Each structure stands twice: as structure tokens, then as C-alpha cells.
């Protein structure tokens, strides 16, 4: 992510700081999230784009060599097999900038998170 003196307050401003190819990938992730969860609130949290629907769904962030995608630990565990080809940690995965984004997988993960958050609301 490019460092800026001004605080980023929206996703468009966040994406504007990246080279065109990275920005295109970030926009692709954004579009995928909003297609799966059209009622999700888009915000900046922890200085990165975040999507909230009955709680946080996912975050993502651009870096020099990858896009970080943060769908929470349960989602990483649930999609462990599909994510095995990517560098990942407990609650994150890295999608390299030199490879196509796994858009279908991202959509599946977001759908999973929407259902997870909905279950929490239903149980209350």
C-alpha cells in the first residue's frame, strides 16, 4: 500500500493509491464482495477496505506483491483445501499480483461469511 499523509476515509480513495494493475485486482475483489453481499456496508477499518453485514464479513488490502484477503479464521479453515495453493495464515490469505484472482473462490468465501454472520444473529 502506498503511504499517504492524509487518512484514507473511503474505498475509492484507498484504491487510488495503487498502480493500475493492482487497482484493477482490488476493484475485482470489491465487485465480487458486493455482488455476493449487496447489502454489506463498505468502510475503511484498520486502514483497509472492510465489508460489514451483521458484523465484519471480510477485509482486503493491496501490497507490493500480493493482495491480502482477510475472511476470518473460520473461513480459512473451511476453505483450507481450496486455499492450499496460496500463502496463508490463521485469518488471512495472499493472492499474488502476478496470478489471476480466484474470483469464484472469493465469492464462495464471502457467501460462507454472510451465512456465518446471519447464524450469529439468528441465535441471539
Q: What is the mean pLDDT of residues 94-103?
A: 96
What are the residue boundaries of the structural domains of the chain, listed by start?
11-123
Which region among 5-9, 99-103, 117-121 has the lowest average model confidence (pLDDT)? Answer: 5-9
As a whole number of angstroms, the distance between CA 114 and CA 110 comes to 6
Instruction: Encode pLDDT of 18-63 as tens digits.
Output: 999 999 999 999 999 999 999 999 999 999 999 999 999 999 999 9
Q: What architecture is domain 11-123? A: Alpha-Beta Complex (3.90)
Rounded CA-CA distance 47/64 in Å is 16
Cα Rg, the chain, nearest whole Å:
14
* pLDDT at residue 4 tops 50: no
Query: Is the pLDDT confidence value at 124 over 70?
Result: no
Predicted pLDDT at 6 = 64
Identify which of 69, 64, 60 has the alpha carbon closest to the alpha carbon of residue 19: 64
SS3 of residue 79 by DSSP: coil
Alpha-carbon torsion 73, 16, 101, 85, what sign? negative
Amino acid at each position: 500500500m502506498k503511504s499517504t499523509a492524509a487518512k484514507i476515509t473511503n474505498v475509492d480513495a484507498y484504491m487510488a493509491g495503487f498502480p493500475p494493475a493492482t487497482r484493477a485486482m482490488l476493484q475485482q475483489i470489491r465487485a465480487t464482495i458486493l455482488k455476493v453481499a449487496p447489502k454489506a456496508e463498505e468502510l475503511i477499518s484498520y486502514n483497509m477496505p472492510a465489508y460489514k453485514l451483521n458484523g465484519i464479513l471480510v477485509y482486503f488490502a493491496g501490497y507490493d506483491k500480493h493482495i491480502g484477503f482477510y475472511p476470518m479464521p473460520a473461513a480459512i479453515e473451511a476453505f483450507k483445501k481450496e486455499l492450499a495453493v496460496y500463502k496463508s495464515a490463521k485469518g488471512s490469505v495472499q493472492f499474488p499480483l502476478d496470478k489471476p484472482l480466484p474470483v469464484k473462490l472469493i465469492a464462495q468465501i464471502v457467501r460462507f461469511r454472510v451465512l456465518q454472520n446471519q447464524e450469529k444473529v439468528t441465535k441471539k
